[in-house]
A and B are shown apart, each in its own frame.
Chain A
Amino acid sequence: MHYGALLRRLPISIDPNSHVPIYQQIVDHIRRSVAAGVYRPGEPIPSLRQLALELLVNPNTVQRAYEQLEREGLIQARRGLGMFVTENGAVSALTKSQAAVYSAFTEGIRAGKAARMPAQRIRTTFDRAWDDTNRGATEES
């Protein structure tokens, strides 16, 4: 459910009251920014200090987020220059975003099962949500 909440928030802001750890929120944010093409392969992402002060969070937390993104192959360090998006960073960001979508759906399915909804009703609910989202998008544009 929290992914939905994250998508609707301003692009650069974290929720210090959320159950999602701040480091995870930063990971999600950078990943989404790369998937959306804000930062392209070969381009730098904000420095530790810059992001820590912008989001008002501990620089150690930003560092942990960057370490995870580096392990995932989304970004890599260039000595003395900071962190840069890798060549296949955009592809990797898309794959991970898919995982986020999967987990959001899983959460919805669990909520439906807990309310003893039959599978068919969960599916029609998905279709309705899909239609509503599309309608919302066309109304906005």
Chain B
Amino acid sequence: MAETSSRLAIETDDLTKRFGGKTAVDHLTLRIPVGTTFGFIGPNGAGKTTTIKMLMGMLRMNGGQARVLGIDVSTDPARMKQRVGYVPELHFIYRWMRVTEVIGFCRALYDQWNDRLCAEVLKLFELDPNKKVKHLSKGMVVKLALLLAIAHEPEVLILDEPTSGLDPLIREEFLDSVLRTICERQRTVLFSSHTLSDVQRMADTIGIVYEGRLLAECATEELLVGTKRVRAVLRDGATPGEPPAGTIWQRFERREWLLTVRGFSPDTVAYLKAKYPVDSVEVFDLGLEDVFKDFVKGRRASA
């Protein structure tokens, strides 16, 4: 059991990608164990899609390494793709084909294809096999993309902002289908998203990426429980100095010193009380959205 849980489905070491003079992905090191769901979050342009494209062997890396299910993606992408399902941010499905033709086309690309599962999901999604792709709604295209990504029963599912632009009902159906595939077998999922409530629902682990670098990689619960907002009210005339360990963001205005601290403990409060003349120190819980924003804002401020 210990061996199974320590096996890695996705691992990158110092993964780097430059476009001209700009570094899109900067020495990114990821470890995603088999059977876990990894939520990849970051502002637009942070390098999420570029990372995913390198993992899928669609973009050449400038440095570092990436392995999916132990297979080096730059030397053997074809073998890797047989075992991976991918829903891209933009769906490259031939618009003039009928749904059934698209399925036949993709079926031919894989060694293994589960026709029964395919038929089941087709029915579940209420996809009309005879409709042309160009006549499908946006939600239907996303569902078709998911169907194509899971019908060969991949061990790893990679979803690039899969629910963006979907209405709440279709988003729910989509999440439900992804969860069903997770429930069925020990499947690994990597998905990027701006919908942080979805990330909190789905992800065991969260990676926050900014300017191509990983700011944090941590269990979802730990990130929420361990990151706190602290408010210290300083006495007249006092000014803040060295913040407590783990501070990722801070702001001082009037007498109020606000700090967001990762790995918060009672020591954080004790430190502030011992080092600064404070009137009061309060501690607040944060939702994932605030945690995410403070990580990024703090990084911007220190740059």
> Contacts A17-B287, A61-B204, A114-B282; is A52 near B224 (CB within 8 Å)?
no
- Judge whether B175 and A56 touch: CB under 8 Å: yes
Interface contact A58-B287, CB-CB below 8 Å: no
Instruction: Tell whether A53 pairs with B183 under 8 Å between CB atoms, given A58-B202, A114-B282.
Output: yes
A53/B179 in contact, CB under 8 A: yes
**How far is B197's CA from A49's CA once the two chains are assembled, in angstroms?**
20
- Look across to chain B and name the residue whose beta carbon is closest to the beta carbon of A16: B197
Distance in angstroms from B133 CB to nearest chain A CB is: 28
CA distance A40 to B180 in the complex (A): 29
Give the residue of B183, B200, B203, B280 whose beta carbon is less than 8 angstroms from that of A49.
B183
B49 at the interface (CB under 8 A from A): no
Q: Which of B170-193 contact A (CB under 8 A)?
A: 172, 175-176, 179-180, 182-183
Cα distance A81–B289 in the bound complex, in angstroms: 38
Q: In the complex, A20 Cα to B224 Cα: how many Å? A: 7
B282 touches A53 (CB 8 A): no
Chain B contact surface mostly: helix
Known: A53-B176, A57-B202, A58-B182. A21 touches B220 (CB 8 A): yes
Contact in complex: A53, B180 (CB < 8 Å): yes
Q: Pick from B172, B180, B201, B289: contact of A57, CB below 8 A.
A: B201
A24 partner, pick from B36, B182, B221, B287, beta carbons under 8 A: B221
Interface size for B (C-beta < 8 A) is 29
Q: Is the CB of A60 within 8 A of B37?
A: yes
Return the chain B residue nearest A116 by Cβ: B280
Number of A residues whose C-beta is below 8 Å from B? 26
- Whether A19 lies near B203 (C-beta < 8 A) is no
- By the criterion CB–CB under 8 Å, are B221 and A21 in contact? yes
Residue of A nearest to B231 (CB): A114
- Say yes or no: B286 contacts A58, CB within 8 Å: no
Are A23 and B201 in contact (CB-based, < 8 A)? no
Nearest Cβ distance between residue A59 and chain B, in whole angstroms?
5
Contacts known (A49-B183, A60-B37); A22 close to B287, Cβ less than 8 A: no
In the complex, what's the smallest C-beta–C-beta distance from B186 to chain A, in angstroms?
10
Pick the contact of B172: A18, A56, A58, A113 (CB < 8 A).
A56
Q: How far is the CB of A35 from chain B (nearest CB, A)?
A: 23
Given A20-B285, A57-B202, A58-B37, output 10 extra A-B contacts at Cβ < 8 Å: A18-B287, A19-B286, A52-B183, A53-B176, A55-B201, A56-B172, A56-B175, A57-B201, A64-B221, A110-B282
Which residues of A are interface residues toward B (Cβ below 8 A)? Answer: 2, 14, 16-24, 48-49, 52-53, 55-61, 64, 110, 113-114
Chain B residues in the interface with A (C-beta under 8 A): 35-37, 172, 175-176, 179-180, 182-183, 196-198, 200-204, 220-221, 224-225, 280, 282, 285-289
